[in-house]
Structure 1
Amino acid sequence: MVIELSLGGLLTLLGIPTAITSLGLWILQRKMAKREEIRDKREAAREKNEVLLIQNTRAALALAEATAVAVQRIPDAHCNGDMHAALEYARKVKHAQKDFLTEQGVKAIY
């Protein structure tokens, strides 16, 4: 039994699986690109959230420092050593955070 194929028929026969495979790969590539885009958006949102959390922490520390300093200046206020210790701790944490973020910034540059 001999099957005769023309050159055009042979090319068509070989081209069908290639076309199906190419279509499958193209669909897969589109899905991967969409997932990567979603992942990039989520990462940007996480970075923005981190910045806002750091700003919130700094604002809370600034308010705490201002309140502690104001209470210490009131002559009638009988604040024990806790207020002084809390103020010193807040300042220490603020500077430690600033130093950490500065170090991370330098590492990100290089």
Structure 2
Amino acid sequence: MGNITIEAGQLIAAFIAALGIPGALMGIVVWRLEHKITKRDKEIDDRETAQEELWLLVIQSTGAAIALGEATAKAVQRIPDAHCNGDMKAALEYATDIKHQQKDFLAKQGIHALRD
């Protein structure tokens, strides 16, 4: 058999090349993981944004329903033949109270959001 001679430079180059392949594979694996994490984070952000928009619509709908109820109760109270009892007045007061509680709660939440 013949002797094979390898110089020190060739040995170092072969060693670096051998290390480079696993390093490149690991780089690809890490890149894919980062890509998946970034995609998942975006999906979570999109879901949170949609949920915030939904809550805003729910709050606006509640306010609209209360306003409609108040307007209807006041209009019925002005009809002379309607014979409104105390239930209409109590319901109107309750709706007004809830509307103010909701407004106070949302104002408080806004202040907390500013502090964070």
With normalisation by structure 2, the TM-score equals: 0.88
Q: In the alignment, residue 88 of structure 2 is paired with which amino acid? A: M
What is aligned with 2:57? 52
What is aligned with 1:42? 47
The aligned runs of 1:18-29 (5 Å cut-off) are 18-29=23-34
Query: What stretches of structure 1 move > 6 A for 4+ residues in a row?
Result: none
What is aligned with 1:8? 13
Q: Helix, strand or coil: the match of 2:82?
A: coil
What is aligned with 1:73? 78
Gaps of 5+ in 2: 1-5
Measured in 2, the distance between the counterparts of 1:66 and 1:14 equals 78
Superposed CA RMSD in Å reads 1.1
Aligned residues: percent identity?
A: 53
Gaps of 5+ in 1: none
Give the C-alpha shift of residue 43 in structure 1: 0.8
More off after superposition, 56-65 vs 4-13: 4-13
Match among 88, 105, 108 for residue 110 of structure 2: 105
Q: Helix, strand or coil: the match of 1:6?
A: helix
What is aligned with 1:61? 66
With normalisation by structure 1, the TM-score equals: 0.93
Q: In the alignment, residue 70 of structure 2 is paired with which amino acid? A: E
